[in-house]
Amino acid sequence: MTYRPPTLADVIATLHVDRVDDDHFRAGQLDNPAHHIVGGHIAGQALMAASLTAPGRTPHSMHVYYVRAGDAREPVDFLVDVARDGGSLSTRQITARQNGQILLEVLASFSAPIESLDYHQPMPDVADPETLPPIQEQLADYADELGGHWVRPQAFDLRYVDAPPRLALELPDPPGRMRMWWRPNGSVPADEVLHSCLLTYLSGTTMVEAALARRRQTPISTFNALIDHALWFHRPVDLSDWVLSDQVSPSGVAGRGLTTSTMYNRAGQLVCIATQELYFGRKQEA
């Protein structure tokens, strides 16, 4: 059977977790040829489950540790511990299990609206997304590679300011940063929590590219696995418009790669800072 990449509708449908009881949720996964659970996807599901126990509050931050790989052909159970509900912040601990084994542990924080000083670092000066070609056009010369992998349909429209990993292979030196505009390939319900979950999913699937470019590799030329993942949601993200992700990999050591993404909305406001570390495995002996 030919593999069909998930559509935006597939991603949204699986982010809507089913409630088993007050603190227990279950969700299906997005299957793929390797049957590996996608790290950003299961993290988004954990955030959605926790949000359902903190009504009236929106995501402020989440810190994820990926403990082991799971099987995308089977559902995952999410157990939410109501750690604390304060005057303005709520803290939740989420454990994801499959067949009795822990897949990930999460601490998530949710905030009530607060009026306070508002400041942020400015957005970099980059070309508007409408002036940039979609990734499928940018990589059209590689359409015959890997069964059309580079030009496959995707749930998000990606428009790179800097060379994506496949093009970065052709450069004399690896790029120091990877800036990219993105938005969903379709309409998304006006739900602030869902938008945060979709951002979590997207960050888990694209931030690896900054580290891969520094390593002179592409997402399918090497093994990699998420170890941990942290996000700070500074203000609501509106996915009816473009988001700029400014991605860098400041460190690569001991088979690991650290990446950071600073995200801005179209108006230039900082909406999220995300950091993750990936494991690339031991260097193979010659």
pLDDT along the chain (286 residues), means of 10: 82 96 96 90 97 95 95 96 94 96 97 82 92 90 76 88 84 84 94 96 88 73 83 94 94 86 96 93 53
Do both 264 and 147 map to the same domain? Answer: yes
**Lookup: tokens for 120:** 């942020």
Q: What does the DSSP 8-state code read for residue 160?
A: E
Q: Are residues 147 and 253 in the same domain?
A: yes
Indicate whether 264 belongs to any domain. yes
Query: How far, in whole angstroms, is CA 211 from its chain's centroid?
Result: 15
Q: Distance between CA 65 and CA 79 in Å, rounded?
A: 15
CATH code of 10's domain: 3.10.129.10
Helix or strand holding residue 203 (H, E)? helix 192-206
Domain-terminating residue out of 60, 86, 113: 113
Q: Looking at the structure, tell me whether residues 160 and 258 fall in a common domain.
A: yes
Tokens of 92: 């939740």
Does 286 lie in the same domain as 148?
yes
Boundary residue ending a domain (65, 90, 113) = 113
Q: Is residue 120 part of a domain?
A: no
Q: Which residues of 156-170 are buried (b: 16+ CB within 10 A; e: fewer)?
A: bbbbbbbbbbbbbbe
**How much is the pLDDT for 28?**
96
* Count of domains observed in the chain: 2
pLDDT of 142 reads 81
178 within a domain of the structure (yes/no): yes
Cβ neighbours of residue 9 closer than 8 Å, sequence gap 6 or more: 186
Which residues form the domain of 249?
Answer: 127-286
Pair 285, 173 in one domain: yes
Same domain, yes or no: 25 and 159:
no
Given this model, what pLDDT does residue 117 score?
74
Backbone angles phi, psi at 94, to 5 degrees: -120, 130
Same domain, 164 and 100: no
| 91 assigned to some structural domain | yes
In the numeric block, the tokens 């790669």 are attached to 257
For residues 214 and 79, the answer to whether their CB atoms sit within 8 Å is no
Amino acid at 112: A
Same domain? 142 vs 267: yes
Indicate yes or no: pTM above 0.75: yes
Give domain status of residue 140, yes or no: yes
Task: Note whether 68 and 160 are same-domain residues.
Answer: no
Q: Which of 112, 129, 107 is nearest to 57 (CA)?
A: 112
Same domain for 144 and 250, yes or no, is: yes
CATH number of the domain bearing residue 251: 2.40.160.210
Same domain, 278 and 138: yes
Q: How far apart are the first and last CA of the chain?
A: 36
Are 59 and 108 within 8 A, CB to CB?
yes
Identify whether the C-beta of residue 184 lies closer than 8 Å to the C-beta of residue 153.
Answer: no
From the list 270, 258, 255, the residue with the least C-alpha distance to 230 is 258
Is residue 197 in some structural domain?
A: yes
Which residues does 216 contact at the CB level (< 8 Å), separation at least 6? Answer: 168, 169, 174
**Beta-carbon contacts of residue 30 (< 8 Å; ≥ 6 apart):** 6, 10, 11, 14, 38, 41, 72
152 and 100, same structural domain? no
DSSP-derived pairing of the beta strands 270-279 and 256-265: antiparallel
118 within a domain of the structure (yes/no)? no
- Structural domain ending residue among the three candidates 50, 82, 113: 113
191 token code pair:
């739900």
SS3 category, 156 = strand
Q: For residue 122, tell me if it sits in a domain.
A: no
